Each structure stands twice: as C-alpha cells, then as structure tokens.
Amino acid sequence: MGPTPEENSEAEGEEMLAYYLSQNPDVVISPEDLREAGPEIAQFENLITQFESRHDLEALHAITDLTPAEAPNQPIREAAKIDLNPIVALFNTLEAETNISKVKRDELKEKYKILSRAVGMINNNKVDHTR
C-alpha cells in the first residue's frame, strides 16, 4: 500500500518549501562585510527629525475613530503613514547590512516606535496607538 494522501501532501509541501528556499535564499552578510553604520544612523535620525517637524504627534494620537475605508482620506494620518515608509526601510537596512550595535539599534527602534504608535494601526474601526 502506498502513502496516504496526507503523506503525499506533506511530501509535496516539503519539496515546494525546499525549492522555494533554494530559489530565494536569505541574504546574510558576514560580519566583516557589514557597512559602517554611522552615515545611515545620521540619515535615520534626520528622517525622524523631519517626520516630527512635519507631523503633529499629538494630533495623530487624537485620531481614534477610523475605518479602513476612511483611512486613505484622512489627510493627517495618511501623510504621516506614507512618511513612515522610508524610516522603516532604512531601519531594516541598518539592521541587516550595517555594523550597528544592539544598543544603538534598540535606541533607534524606540524612536521609530514613538512615530509608529502616533500613526497607529486600525483595528475594529479604532486607531490603536499602543502597538
């Protein structure tokens, strides 16, 4: 008797996963090839400063009732949400491609979280500013 349908499905899933991983390997940069973090840290901190000068964090925190359908039409929150994209992208680059220390990374992450929480996440037609 051959394998059960569940066993076939599991084997196919494992093959698909192995193929995917072989075609899409995680790019891991060896520690000696990591870039100096200093210039990108300065750029990150500049983006944070620009965000804070453009967006009123208190006004963002005041936005509490918003549906996903309404969100793109909320000018204060939508503009801030868009301005978060390059900040998080640079943070991810700093983390993956530079020699940033854990202490400095955690410090920058906290600065980012303050902005991210001000924008908030929509959950059940409420803006959650705690995540």
- Where exactly are the structural domains of the chain? 35-128
CB contact at 8 A, 52 and 112: no
Q: Is the pLDDT of residue 69 over 50?
A: yes
Give the pLDDT score at 8. 45
Average pLDDT over residues 91-95: 94
Instruction: Please list the helix, strand and coil fractions of the chain in percent, rounded to the nearest 5, in that order.
Output: 70, 5, 25
Position 2 confidence tier, pLDDT thresholds 50, 70, 90: low
Count CA atoms within 13 Å of residue 29 on its CB side: 13
Query: Letter for the amino acid at 93?
Result: T
Smallest CA-to-CA distance from 93 within 18, 32, 49, 27 is with: 27
Q: Is the pLDDT of residue 85 over 90?
A: yes
